């Protein structure tokens, strides 16, 4: 495969961005959820 580093790089970048954003968001969700009682969480 020619220019393989660019191709692999674009996949790593895309899925890496998804992973980083998801991990940060879930960590923030967990820390905030400790400070709110379950009955106020409308999605449960």
Residues that bind other proteins (CB under 8 A): 1-4, 6-11, 13-15, 17-18, 21-22, 25-26, 28-30, 32-38, 40-44
Which among 16, 3, 24 is positioned nearest to 32, based on CA atoms? 24
Closest CA relative to residue 44, chosen from 35, 33, 9: 33
According to DSSP, residue 36 is labeled: S
Give me the least distance between CB of 36 and other proteins, in Å please: 5
């Amino acid at each position: 495969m020619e220019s393989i580093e660019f191709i692999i790089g674009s996949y790593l970048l895309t899925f890496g961005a998804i992973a980083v954003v998801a991990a940060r968001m879930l960590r923030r969700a967990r820390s905030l959820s400790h400070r709110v009682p379950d009955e106020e969480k409308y999605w449960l």
